[in-house]
Amino acid sequence: MRHRLAIFSLLLSLSLVPLSARATASLLSEQEICPGRLVLRNSPKIKFTEIEKSFLCGDPQIDAWKYIPPAQVKFQLETFLQDRGYFQPRFTEEGDELVAELGEALHVTRIEAVGAPPSLDLRKRRGVVGRLLNPRLLDREEKWVEAQLKAQGYACPVVKSRANVLTGEVKIDIDPGRKQNVTSIDVEPVRRMNSEVLRRFDAFEVGKPFNNDFLTLTSKRVEKDGILQSTHFIPECREDGVALTQKTIAGKPRLISVGFGGDTEQYAIVKTSWRHTRLGRNASLFDISLFGSYKRQELDISNSWYLSPTARWHLMPVLTFSHDREAQYHFVSANAKFAFANSWDNQNLGLQYSFGPNLNYVDTFRGAQPGVTRLLSLQYDFHLASHYFEFYSNSPRTGFRLGLVGDFTNKNLLSEITAERFRLDGEYLYNFRGYDPPLLIFGVRGGFGGTFLKKDPQSLAALPPNYRFYLGGSTDLRGFGRQELSGPGLDGALSMAFTSFEIRLANVLPLWMQPIAFMDVGILGNQAFSFQLPVYYSPGFGVRCESPIGVFRATLARGFKSGGNDGVTDNTHLQFFISFGEEF
Amino acid sequence: MRYVWKTLRVLLVTAFLLALISAGGLLALLKWPQWVVNPKMFARLAHFSSRFGAVIGWDSAEIYPTSYSLFHKRFDFSFNHFCFNVKQNTQQGCLQKLQLGFEIEWKWKERRLKILDLGPLVAEGADVSILLPPAEKKKKESLLSLDVPDVVLPPLLQDAVFRNILLDFKRLEIKQGQDTYSGSFQLSMEPVEGKLGDVFVQAALEEGFGLKSAEFHAQVHSDSHFLKNDWLLTGNADLSLPSQATLKGSVKLYQVRPGFYSFEVGPEWAQGPIHAQLSMNGSVGKGQIKGAAGGEVAGFSKQVHRVTFQKCAFDLRQLDKNFGRARFTLDCPLKVGMTPVKLPSATATYKITLPENLDFIAKTNLETSFLPSLDKEVSGTLDLQLIPVEQQDYQARGTASIRFSGVPSRYPSGWSITSDLDASALIPHLQRWVKSLNQTAFAVPAPLNPLEGTVTLGVKGKVDIARNLGELPVVFKTELKSKDQTVNTDGKGTLKYQYSKTASKSDLTLDLMLSDLVLSLPRFGYSSLPTLFPDKRFYNPNVHKKVFRHDTFDYHVRIQTSPEHPARLVSNLAKENIPLSLDLNLENEKLGGSVQVGKTPLHFFRRDAEVERFKIVLKEPQDQSEIRGRLRVSYVDYKIDIIILGTVGRPTVLFQSDPPLSQDQVLSVLIYGRTFDDLDENKANSVASASAAFADKAIALGSLFLLASTPIESIGYNPSTGLFSAKIRLAEGTSLNLATQEGKTQQAGIRKNLGGNWIINTYIQNDTVTNKQSGGAMLEWNKRY
């Protein structure tokens, strides 16, 4: 914990550096902008750029711009002050000196859309009223409206804003144009790659309404995969619909990466990888990655092999060698997996799934019966997520995801035990009244898992740690320590269920602070679909900080158990967590 | 015969007896005139007069005949409430009191009746109404020959002793046709030692002559007591004219010699804010009026508040007796008092005064009717000459020669008024204006304010005033220079105008040739360009934007540079002055035409580059202006052409290279000086973002310029929002990274560039198999190859 706090403190202090530099606006009696020429009086401190100053004070190095007459200074100052929200400065002259009193900065009092389609509700736009009124705000709101319309099928809207400098009222004039469907996609060719392979990343459907957010999501998927360095879509509105042109920047196909760093769980880590992102014309993926930390060392060799350019089906052989040393277990594992994988998207949802055999050797030193365990399992993995959950994954606010992973092993089929493991987990986020930026975000998270195993001690003893379930920690029950709960009298439970409710107040407090309150409830059992009391629950609260370098979360919760005794007396306590990068 | 003689004798005797009786009666009447001159006899006569259509009556009368001798009598009549009505009500009225006295004597030696004493003559409380037949138009049009009869006492009265005369018409009404004149009139005279003294006339007009009201006071004086024609008329009048105008003044008139009079008048006229005061003296002869005038007219407008003139010689001369034509000439120096121009200060908190006055000479020579008549043709010329003004601030000269002819009452039908206008103004030293205007809201802005030299504006041409139509050639020229700048222009054009009460319109066409133009641009550094003009999206509802009225004024200004001498811009970003060919059309607040940058070397993308051509065809709105440009950036291994097409708002930037490179390669070379393959991860992403932004036409020309001028650390582009951003060196380049590995991990975090291939990667990682989540920070080195 102390280590985590140290890292947090370091990162927090780094993130707050810009804050300390941001001086709080204070009313100065006099601020001399150009000595003897221009002074601001009874005004907040204003910083002008060097170029702005040359337009206000003149540039002694250029004869033609040495002297700026007062009227021109006034004109330029008024223009520059617009950027800072001052629209009615008062000017006086004291000798040759121009004295400006800026008055109060103007803030937005009301925003109204004119000509908006019914689907665009400007009341859902938060954080505008009360904000400093300046050209950037108008730009931003125009862009926001445009983005909203483009997400609703209006591919080529015309949006113009205007603002009343006396009242602070903003009106946005909208000509949304027609709602249109995507009719075609034209891809800029990539050398030695079949252009059609890019369609496997599509988060939209041709023939369905245009949604620019999903085009962006598609681009992000491509770039995340690494198949291309960059890609983006250019929509063109035509009579029959929207024609898309997908621009591509391929970049080199091979990527080597070496990393050193720290982790909240594993402390110092080293990571290297080598990837080839465009193997063959179908742009298959080959990846070798090496991960090393004090607790875990892992070598992954994987390949995603596409047989057809248009198909999303692909073969996914994976070889993994790992060594895990945790407080409750210690083992070496080797996996050889051959999976069939596919993905599917419609206008709203994206589904990824894979299944295939996995041969796993585990040499357990601690946490289960020591010795080598061999498991041949049929693994399956389904992930369903709404596009907007994926779109906002960096700043979660809406949508859902659902994951189901599991495997089957059988003693009669090259496995030393018969076990069936599954885990279903999901998450649903609700943005209260659809505000943007959100005001209140309700989240529900849950998980349900179990391992079917013969009820004999040999099988239980041979069951490797990664077939067991633990609760506790920032991912499920936040009132308990990480994986502190292992079930009544067990070294890891065989069934698990938990749910978490969370409410987050977003974009209200300064300094990116977002307070949260939550309640986690969970239960463990000694066999699949069978749960034993006690019920664990942990109410708590915390704060989420969305800083420029990542998301910090700090939670304080109290763990309780109810309805039974798990034989552990010291596991109900206050628990403090700090996480970095974690959402929910 | 005897009967005849008898009859004759009887007749003779009868006649003698009758004559004897008549003589006796006459002698008796001469001896005792009261026999017939008495109230009863007058009453009978008055009664008897009614038979002849004259009704005369009075309430009481006193008649006192006095007989000094047989042929020397005096009569004094006094009537109270004397009324008359004669000629069928055409002349009627009453006098409260009518008093008349006179003394006469028959002079046997001179054989004439002599009036020895006249007066008193008193008519008080008169209320008289007279109906006159409609006036016949006088065919003779020579009233201004001032045919004043001699004012001399007739011989009958020259030896008379005068007593007081008072004629007081408290109401006198005269009707003639449709016109009615009413008012009061009083004439009085007090004798001086029995001789005729000054005659005083006082009249007040209540109605008539097109006046609302008028008062006149006059005095006629004669040194010889009117025994000679040596009268002097002095008087003054105060007239109230329709339309709230007033006219008052004094007059002095006397005869210099028979038929030749001298006059002095000093009228003052006021109507609304306009007030005129004139002093004029001259003479009226037979068919001629000439003299000199001076005065001032004030209150025209705020700008021209006063026109004064002195020693204006005029001459009105009758040309033709029959038709009454006359020639009027005027030679008049005018001083136009202009209100000093007050310009608002830079802050508009006070006014700055720039004094101004103009002097003119006006000369006219026109032929008109001798009598001012709106129905007679007027023709002639009016020459206005601006006395050359040569001040330190400006010089100005001008003449206007106006020829006109027409009948005033029919204006503008049949009128011809043309003017030859020739005027020019010169600013000999612009710097004086720069200094004068410096504190004002109309200060000459930088970079023009260091310029020194001359500015000339001239108009020359014909104006058709009658048809309210004009076409004036306009000349505009500047010869200005400063240390680094030159502004030499030569403009020629035409100002056309048409004026009417309902829809006036003028049209300025000017071709302005920029024969030599060198201007300095401000020094730009490696940071974003500031916003130099107010954002038009912000509006103040209380400030109504002036709407340009195309229906009243059109202007078409074409601004060109000559092919041999393009304009040049001096910039710290260019190695040499940037040649600029302009062909601009400024029409009614709309700017059209084209701006073309000629071949010029510059530092672009941190390399030696050359603008091969760059042309903007201006259109409205201005972000729709078309661009066509080609810039060449030379490298050791490549020559890259940047082709800019499309519009200013959404420029399309294409890249070509020799040898051929892909667009991302070209961008990579331009932005980072290396091929895409040699870039680190962060820079490659930046190139990709730039490429996306270029393709999306999201990079404005200004941003392209900054990209080319600034050491780029990283570029970001969000195609969803269309927001483009670039980070320059020394700033922190931050890009967002979101990674998902299928089926295994989800990773979200922030990648922060540390330069080169190094990034710091903060992340959260969920292992969905082990349900482990971890967050961390990694220092990573990445390379694509």
pLDDT digits (tens, 9 = 90+) for B667-683: 777 777 777 777 776 77
- Closest Cα of chain A to B451: distance in Å? 8
Query: How does DSSP assign B67-116, residue by residue?
Result: EEETTEEEEEEEEEEEEEEETTTTEEEEEEEEEEEEEEEEETTTTEEEEE
Q: Best of B434, B687, B720, B765 to disrupt the A interface by mutation (most A CBs within 10 Å)?
A: B720
Residue A369: Cβ-neighbour burial (10 angstroms; 0-12, 13-18, 19+): middle
Does residue A269 sit at the B interface (CB-CB below 8 Å)?
Answer: yes
CB contact under 8 A, A265 and B774: yes
Tokens of B79: 């009537």
Task: Give CA angle at A320 (A318, A321), nearest 5°.
Answer: 165
A565 inside 8 A of chain B by CB: no
For residue A74, give how far its alpha carbon lies from the nearest alpha carbon of chain B (Å): 7
Residues A163, B438: C-beta atoms closer than 8 Å? no
Touching A: B residues 304-363, CB under 8 Å: 345-350
Is the Cβ–Cβ distance between B733 and B713 less than 8 Å? yes
The DSSP 8-state label assigned to residue B34 in this structure reads: G
Radius of gyration of chain B (CA): 50
User: B79: number of CA atoms within 13 Å, CB side?
Assistant: 23
Residues of chain A with Cβ-Cβ distance to B782 below 8 Å are 255-257
Residue A581's pLDDT is what? 54
User: By the 8 A CB rule, do B36 and B63 touch?
Assistant: no
The answer to whether the CB of B207 falls within 8 A of the CB of B182 is: yes
Nearest by CB: A550 against B446, B537, B762: B762
d(CA B87, CA A235): 106
Contact of B721 with chain A, judged by CB distance below 8 Å, is answered with yes
Q: What percent of chain B has pLDDT over 90?
A: 12
- Which pLDDT does position B656 carry in this prediction? 79
What would the 3-class secondary structure string for A349-370 be?
EEEEEEEEEEEEEEEEEECCCC
**Mean pLDDT, rounded, for A292-310:** 89
Q: Is residue A418 scored above 50 in pLDDT?
A: yes
Write the DSSP symbol of residue B482.
Answer: -
Distance from CA of A570 to the nearest CA of B (A): 23
A-chain residue closest to B436, CA distance: A69
Residues 6+ apart with CB under 8 A from A81: A46, A87, A89, A102
**For range B302-311, the mean pLDDT:** 79
Read off the pLDDT of residues A495-550 as tens digits, 9 standing for 90 and up: 999 999 999 998 778 777 889 999 999 999 988 888 888 999 999 999 988 776 66
**Hey, what's the torsion of the CAs at B290, B292, B293, B294, to 10 degrees?**
170
Interchain pair A93, B776: CB under 8 A: no
Between chains, do B438 and A69 touch, taking CB under 8 Å as contact?
yes
pLDDT, tens digit, 9 for 90 and up, residues B224-268: 988 888 889 899 988 887 667 788 888 898 888 887 889 898 888
How many angstroms separate the CA of residue B761 from the nearest CA in chain A? Answer: 9
**A261 falls in which pLDDT band (50, 70, 90)?**
low
Helix runs in B400-537, H state only: 430-437
Summarised one tens digit per residue, pLDDT across range B455-484 is 998 888 777 776 667 778 888 999 999 988
DSSP string across A181-227: BEEEEEEPPBTTB-GGGGGGG-SS-TTSB--HHHHHHHHHHHHHHTS
Report which of B33, B698, B704 is spatially closest to residue A233, judged by C-alpha positions: B698
Residue A564 — φ and ψ, nearest 5°? Answer: 175, -175
Give yes or no for a contact between A548 and B732, defined as CB atoms under 8 angstroms apart.
no
Does any CB of chain B come closer than 8 Å to the CB of residue A486?
A: no
Q: Are A40 and A101 spatial neighbours (Cβ–Cβ below 8 Å)?
A: yes
> By the 8 A CB rule, do A89 and A78 touch?
yes
Return d(Cα B725, Cα B715) in angstroms, integer: 6
Contacts of B718 in chain A (CB under 8 A): 216
- B537:A135 CB<8 A: yes
Closest listed residue to residue A115, CA positions, set A192, A70, A172, A155:
A172
CB contact under 8 A, B692 and A232: yes
Residue with tokens 């009117």: B226
CB interface of A with B, residues 390-419, below 8 Å: 390, 393-394, 403, 405
- The whole-angstrom separation of Cα B463 and Cα B470 is 4
For B10-26, the pLDDT digits (tens) are 899 999 999 999 888 88
Nearest to B371 by CA among B277, B290, B289: B289
Phi, psi of A106 (to 5 degrees): -90, 135
Q: Are A305 and A162 in contact (CB under 8 A)?
A: no
If one compares B622 and A19, the residue with the highest pLDDT of the two is B622
Looking at residues B51-74, what average pLDDT do you find?
88
What integer is the mean pLDDT of A109-127?
91
Q: Select the more confidently predicted residue: B531 or B592.
A: B592
CA distance B481 to chain A (A): 11
Measured CA distances, B156 to A151, B197, B221 (Å): 120, 17, 20
Q: What is the pTM of this model?
A: 0.67
Write b or e for each residue in B575-598: b if 16 or more Cβ atoms lie within 10 A of its Cβ, otherwise e. Answer: eebbbbbbbbebbeeebebbbbbb
Range in B39-43, B206-210, B628-632 with the lowest mean pLDDT? B206-210
CB spacing of B523 vs A61 below 8 angstroms: yes
Closest partner CB to B779 (pick from A54, A161, A259): A259
Distance between CA B543 and CA A165 in Å, rounded? 11
Handedness of CA B79, B81, B87, B91 (dihedral sign): positive
Q: Which of B346, B527, B721 sits opposite A49 (nearest CB)?
A: B527
Q: What is the pLDDT of residues A28-74, one digit of tens each?
A: 578 899 988 899 988 888 888 888 888 899 998 888 899 999 889 99
Q: Mean pLDDT, chain B, as a whole number? A: 78
- Separation in Å, CA B182 to CA B89, B127, B241, B308, B785: 17, 11, 16, 37, 116
d(CA B477, CA B512): 8
> Mapping DSSP to helix (H, G, I), strand (E, B) and coil, where does residue B666 land?
helix
**Mean pLDDT value across residues B28-45:** 86
Instruction: Looking at the complex, report in whole angstroms how far the Cα of residue A457 sits from the nearest Cα belonging to chain B.
Output: 23
**pLDDT tens-digit map of B515-549:** 899 998 888 765 556 777 888 899 998 887 666 56
| Residue B750 pLDDT level (bands cut at 50, 70, 90) | very low
Q: Give the Cα separation of B559 and B738 in Å (integer).
A: 55
Chain B residues within 8 A of A200 when measuring between CB atoms: none
* 8 Å CB contact of A257 and B752: no
Q: Touching check for B525 and chain A: CB below 8 Å?
A: yes
Which residue of chain A is at minimal alpha-carbon distance from B782? A257
Asked if A252's CB is within 8 angstroms of B785's CB, the reply is yes
Beta bridge partners of A360: A335, A375
B771 touches chain A (CB under 8 A): yes
Q: Are A185 and A198 in contact (CB under 8 A)?
A: no
What pLDDT is recorded for position B480? 93
**What does the angle CA A29 – CA A30 – CA A34 come to, to the nearest 5 degrees?**
170
Q: B185: which residues sit within 8 A by CB, 6+ positions away?
A: B167, B168, B169, B172, B201, B202, B203, B204
The residue behind tokens 């017939």 is B36
- Residue B217: pLDDT band with limits 50, 70, 90: very high
CA distances from A4 to A515, A563, B324, B437, B777 (A): 20, 33, 119, 68, 12
| A328 touching chain B per CB within 8 A | no
Residue A409, strand partner residues: A377, A419
- Which residues have a Cβ under 8 Å from the Cβ of B213 and sit 6 or more positions away? B204, B205, B206, B239, B240
Mean pLDDT of B17-44: 87
Confidence of residue A419 (pLDDT cuts 50, 70, 90): confident
Asked if the C-beta of B773 comes within 8 angstroms of chain A's C-beta atoms, the answer is yes
Nearest to A79 among B529, B531, B752 (CB): B531
Sign (positive or negative) of CA dihedral B572, B575, B577, B579: negative
Segment holding A501, helix H or strand E: strand A495-505
**Cβ–Cβ gap A341/B482 under 8 Å:** no
Contact B347 A92 (CB under 8 A): yes
Q: Which residue has the tokens 């665009």?
A: A120
Task: Decide if B584 contacts B601 (C-beta within 8 A).
Answer: no
CA B327 to the chain's CA centroid: 29
Contact status, residue A81 vs residue A52, Cβ threshold 8 Å: no
Query: How confident is the model at residue B724, as a pLDDT?
Result: 60
pLDDT-based confidence at residue B352 (cuts at 50, 70, 90): low
Confidence of residue B731 (pLDDT cuts 50, 70, 90): very low
- CA nearest neighbour of B559 among B582, B543, B532, B540: B582
Interchain proximity B685–A230, CB inside 8 Å: yes
Q: Tell me the nearest-neighbour CA distance from A426 into chain B, angstroms.
A: 11
B739 to chain A: closest CA residue:
A224
Q: What pLDDT, on a 0 to 100 scale, did the predictor assign at position B742?
A: 28
Q: Which residues pair with B186 in a beta bridge?
A: B168, B202
**For B43-63, what is the mean pLDDT?**
87
pLDDT at A331: 86
**Distance, CA of B447 to CA of B485 (rounded, Å):** 9
Q: Examine the pLDDT at A15 and tell me if it is beyond 60.
A: no
What's the pLDDT score for residue B739?
27
% pLDDT > 70, chain B: 78
Number of inter-chain CB pairs under 8 A, A vs B: 322
- CB-nearest partner of B774 from A59, A69, A263: A263
Mutate which: A3, A17, A51, vs B, most B CBs within 10 A: A51
Chain B residues touching A72 at Cβ < 8 A: 443, 445-446
CA distance B519 to chain A (A): 8
3-state secondary structure of B198: coil
Contact B347 A583 (CB under 8 A): no
Which DSSP state fits B16? H
Cα B402 to its chain centre, rounded Å, is 18
Query: Inter-chain contact A251–B743, Cβ cutoff 8 Å?
Result: no
